[in-house]
Structure 1
Amino acid sequence: MLFGCASYPKVQAEPSYAFSKTQNTSLAKGIALEASKHPASSGFYLLGDGLDAFATRLLLIEKAEMSIDVQYYLFHNDTTAKIFTHYLLRAADRGVRVRMLLDDFGHESQDALFSALVQHPNVSVRLFNPFSNRTLPYVDFLTNFKQINRRMHNKSFIVDNQAAIIGGRNIGDTYFSANIYTNFSDLDVLGVGEFAPRVATAFDLYWNHSLSVAIKYIAPASSAAKLEQVRKQLAKIYTSEQSKAYLRRLESLDIIDNLLRGQLALYWANSELVYDHPDKIMNVSDDNTGYMAPALSNLLNDAHSEALIVSPYFIPGDAGVASLKRWINTGANVTILTNSLSANDVPVVHAGYANYRESLIEAGVKLWELRATVKPKSKPKIKSKDKAKHKKITDLAGSSKASLHAKTMIFDRNTLFVGSMNLDPRSINLNTEIGVVIYSDKMASTAADIFLEELPRHAWRLDVTKTENWWGFNHDLLWLDESITPTKVVSKNSEPEASTWVRFQAWLFGYLPVEHLL
């Protein structure tokens, strides 16, 4: 407990900001060539496939000439994270400034690695909302729970202040189709034009905040010799057999080459970047000053003709159920996809969501839950040129288990939201988040068509039946497979594909008064 009361030195590192004069970089010239053909301010490209999402980041790093800014909640100690770091270090060797801002909760105690990296003159690493106790960090949950429980959940990646990627992915194997056990179905969006400097402005706000502490004030001092040791270790992983699949993907993917030539098939549209102010971490939970959720209030509160919502952790609360019911009563079609218990990596969150399933279905919501195992893909029905540009909005193959991690919403076939925010109390009230609202009929319609076509193969639809008996009505919760004709009942009142132990955990967690923390 005494160790938990210790604190890191309250020394604010030197402020720094995104480079504004990057118009002469190769990226800038290619983007300007394409932008001149369109009246809209920004161009967007959806990254649904995990390998493509990873390769696009690496290719952007390779093309960087001035700066790379990296902001993530989780930064795993695994193969893809090591390859990613290897590429960052190579960019730094070319003279590119690299800034890494990571939440202190999710980097798997890699302080020694980061301390070695900053021995490079072009690399800076800061940890957001760091734990005071570096030996037993979780002791801080006992001594400073209100602040330590609130984390920076943002995910952003910016190169030369010209191209930016935001969305649901962290850095790690499970996000890039590299884990043999579980891979996340996720979604990022690559944006250029006015979008990228807006993301850079948000990054700078966090980078220069008082909760962002330079690694040199936290971790033990390192040395140039240690940096060289790290460099050799990263190079060894880069040349390993395990890395070859990703390196081959670099050779076959032409997204960035087309971007440099001004030939990438982007959706050009107006957009609005929305994000929480980092002060949210320090504010009392009922003070929503600078919160992202109010900025989304028009989308979340206005009536719609159609709403497609994807949220891996979905706890709508009574107010959320009422809003959805209001939409449906005005004639809207509302479809929601979230994780089934077997696909959910956080059973306690599923327990919070399960309490609202019957209410959602009775309100008229078409509720779907992702299967942990995926059926073989049938021949696609949609053959539009827009679908060809983005063949995969979801990537669920490549492992023995799938888990939903994408956070996106599509409204009225004209508005698309992609970001890091789940529809749960934690994202809305506790953690900081970032996202973009894109106003594009073509982009939203294409994403909606693909989503609805793929849904029956990847998920079960839930329904409730009522049967009368001598003491009243008995309600049965059904999981339905609509990928076959006629529709098959997969399970009744029992979470399909979930083990007895996982079901027990979900049942037990359902009695805990912790919904406001989920």
Structure 2
Amino acid sequence: MQIRALLLRAWLLGVLLVLVGCASLPPFEAQPPTSAPAVAEVAQTPLARIARADRPETPGLSGFRLLAQGPTAFNARLTLAERAQKSIDAQYYILQRDVTGLAFLRGLREAAARGVRVRLLVDGLYAPISEDLYAALAVQPNFEVRQFNPLPARSGPLPWRLMRSLGELRHVNRRMHNKLFVVDNSLAITGGRNVADEYFMLSGTANFVDIDLLVSGQAVGELSQTFDDYWNSAEVRPMASLQPVPEREEAARRLDAAFAPLARDLYEPGLDVLGLPSVKTQLDQGWLTQVWADARVLADFPAKIRQDDPEAAFADSVTQRTLAQVQGARDEVFIVSPYFVPGERGLALVEDASRRGVRLVVLTNALNATDETLVYGGYSRYRERLLKAGVKVYELGAELVVRDRRLGNFKSSTGRLHAKVAVIDGRRMFIGSMNFDGRSAWLNTELGLIVESTELAAQFRQLIDERGPGAYELRLDEADGAMLWVERDIDGAETVRRQEPGLNPLYRFRDWLMLQVLPEEML
């Protein structure tokens, strides 16, 4: 169940607060600050040596490899954890208690047992799912777990916790949406993926089309600095202040029972969709395929969640700085966002770019693919105006995308878009955690990179092409102005639909009612 639906249910149940009372967190106590290891401390680790092996002489560059397919992206994380010698810093919005989540935590535990310092930072919304494991990990040597903006209510099912926490709405509605994994301050993985089965093609029902970057060079130090900023911030609480931690022996038994039945990695083909060997294979051979380029790390400051003034929250945010890149486009902007709600400000930006002759393309989820129908309802308010402004709008179809073998093996599941990318003029690319919606702009914290590389942008367009068989093209009927969904098969033949794929009139009416009371910035 996603945050928007949870929030609305909690909101509607808020009248019960007078009966159950509101919860509150204990007073904040500052923790001793820690930081990523210095470059000199990790310079001779195997990962550091491999990361810089083919670094150009030009100073300040960063190396990048796209991790497009789920098993490749997950195995890369496990591989880096296995090779860590000094430190692992992991920061996630969702770390689910499923096959991938447990395998990921096991990899962190094993690294800590070898003497690697592990710092795990999870957002407080979904953390209750695994708080018993986090408490057990927190008493292991070299392992520390903290929560960002934890819910004040500390017991019961998640909807109950949300309802009892509404007295402190900032703890309910404002989340750390960042995704980051840094090993030995030498290699990092960041992008759109949380840690859960559906991000790595392991769900039996619906799997996400998503993308990460493996990063080396200059940007890694900047990413580590953002992690330190969050880890040491006043928005974070250590596990010991939130839940009683077990004795070390009991903790070990708890972790052994949770991790014992897990496989060591996921099957992946010998070469990925870009024709590259796995990260494990390359590291075993002492090298990495990397595209070297200038890059800028974009990160919201942790105290953004305390900003009640929308303009203050937006100023210098990841969203603001990414939109500035869109404003500066000369030829083309290709936006990929699973949750796309431009608002009046974004619509004005799009209309201005169109008047300047910039070609604009948007790829988002179709109704039958989205896991956030409320967001889709907010987006649908703008579709007609976007099309009339000259924007090319495409919607990824739940069944259509499984035909596109570039994006992964969906088996019997359907597909959903989760990647968050913008390609500007074919030479500059944003990739990160930020959606093009109000929640990312004003409420959540986000993380991303702007990479100046025609090669990397071309690789991404090779992977995700809006004109491929996985998406509907939206058009307006020339005769009556009705919305049309145009489906293309592999040969390019078109089928025109006049009914929205996945439309359920009852659900549509339900979402319409919810949108009357839910502010757009919460979508």
Q: CA deviation at 1:15?
A: 1.4
- Quote the Cα distance in structure 1 between the aligned partners of 2:59 and 2:362: 33
Question: Hey, what's the Cα distance between the residues in 1 that align with 2:404 and 2:445?
Answer: 39
* The one of 21, 41, 47 aligned to 2:61: 41
SS at match of 1:443: helix
Match of 1:465 among 471, 474, 477: 477
What letter matches 1:336 in structure 2? Answer: V
- Give the conservation status (yes or no) of the 8 Å contact 1:68–1:160: yes
Contact residue 38 and residue 268 of structure 1 kept, 8 A: no
* 1:110 match: secondary structure: helix
Deviation track 1:259-312 (CA, whole Å, cap 9, x = no partner) reads 465532211000000010001011113223552233334303223201110000
Aligned with 1:133 (options 130, 133, 153): 153
Residue of structure 2 in register with 1:497 after alignment = 502
| Aligned twin of 1:479 | 485
Report deviation, 1:190: 0.7
Name which of 144, 161, 171 aligns with 2:168: 144
Q: Do structure 1's residue 420 and structure 2's residue 446 form an aligned pair?
A: no
Q: What is the aligned-residue RMSD (CA, Å)? A: 2.2
On the 8 A contact 1:67/1:96 being kept in 2, the answer is: yes
Q: CA deviation at 1:222?
A: 1.0
Q: What are the residue-to-residue correspondences of 1:108-257 with 2, within 5 Å?
A: 108-135=128-155, 136-238=160-262, 243=263, 246-249=265-268, 254-257=278-281
Match of 1:362 in 2: 388
Cα distance in 1 for residues equivalent to 2:433 and 2:213? 11
- Deviating above 6 A after TM superposition, structure 1's stretches of 4 or more consecutive aligned residues are none
User: Is residue 332 from structure 1 mapped to residue 339 from structure 2 by the alignment?
Assistant: no
Given the two structures, how large is their TM-score scaled by the length of structure 1?
A: 0.89
State the shift of 1:515 in Å.
Answer: 1.0
Counterpart residue number, 2:14: none
Long gaps (5+) in structure 1:
380-391, 468-473
Structure 1 Cα separation of the partners of residues 433 and 338 of structure 2: 11
2: CA distance, partners of 1:509 / 1:231: 41
TM-score by length of 2: 0.89
Rounded to whole Å, the distance in 1 between the matches of 2:343 and 2:270 is 47
Match of residue 460 from structure 2: 447
Q: Equivalent of 1:341, from 367, 382, 396?
A: 367
SS in structure 2 opposite 1:343?
Answer: coil
1:488 corresponds, among 485, 495, 500, to: 495
Post-superposition offset of 1:505: 3.3
Contact 2:421/2:430 (8 A) holds in 1: yes
Consecutive unaligned residues in structure 2, runs of 5 or more? 1-16, 272-276
Q: Given that residues 319 and 434 in structure 2 are in contact (C-alpha distance below 8 angstroms), is that contact kept between their aligned partners in structure 1? A: no
Cα pair distance change 1:251/1:62, threshold 3 Å: farther
**Which residue of the partner structure matches residue 13 of structure 1?**
31
Q: Distance in 2 between matches of 1:486 and 1:512?
A: 42
Q: CA 1:196 to 1:104, structure 2 compared with 1: closer, same or farther past 3 Å?
A: same
The count of aligned residue pairs is: 491
Question: Residues 40, 113 of structure 1: CA spacing in aligned structure 2 closer, same or farther, 3 A cutoff?
Answer: same
> 1 CA distance for matches of 2:132 and 2:404?
48
- TM-superposed CA distance for 1:377, in Å, is 4.4
**1:121 Cα shift?**
1.6
Partners of 1:42 and 1:334 lie apart in 2 by 28
| Structure 2 contact 152–171 (Cα < 8 Å) conserved | no
Change (3 A) 1:396 1:285: farther
SS of aligned partner of 2:110: helix
What is the CA-CA distance between 1:40 and the residue it aligns to?
Answer: 5.8
The aligned residue for residue 4 of structure 1 is: 22
Higher mean C-alpha displacement, 329-338 vs 495-504: 495-504
Identify the residue that residue 514 of structure 1 maps to in structure 2: 519
1:306 corresponding residue in structure 2: 332
Task: Indicate conservation of the 8 Å contact 2:123/2:175, yes or no.
Answer: yes
Q: Indicate conservation of the 8 Å contact 2:329/2:424, yes or no.
A: no
Contact 1:415–1:437, Cα closer than 8 Å, also in 2: yes
CA distance in 2, matches of 1:216, 1:237: 28
8 Å Cα contact 2:475/2:483 also seen in 1: yes
SS in 1 for 2:347: helix
Partner letter of residue 487 of structure 2?
A: D
Q: 1:361 to 1:251 in 2, by over 3 A?
A: closer
Quick check: 1:374–1:396 contact (8 Å CA) kept in 2?
no
**Aligned residue in 2 for 1:92:** 112
Q: Any idea what SS the aligned residue of 2:435 has?
A: coil
CA distance in 2, matches of 1:193, 1:441: 19
> Quick check: 19-28 or 440-449, which moved more?
440-449
Q: Is the 8 A contact 2:181 2:190 kept in 1?
A: yes
Aligned identity (percent) is 33
1:269 aligns with 2:293: yes
Contact 1:162/1:193 (8 A) holds in 2: yes
Cα gap change, 1:329/1:75 in structure 2, threshold over 3 Å: closer, same or farther? same
Aligned to 1:352: 378
Query: Is contact 2:70-2:199 (8 Å) kept?
Result: yes
Task: Give the superposition deviation at 1:37.
Answer: 6.2
Distance of 2:412 and 2:325 partners within structure 1: 35
Q: 2:71 aligns with which of 31, 47, 51?
A: 51
Range that drifts further, 399-408 or 252-261: 252-261
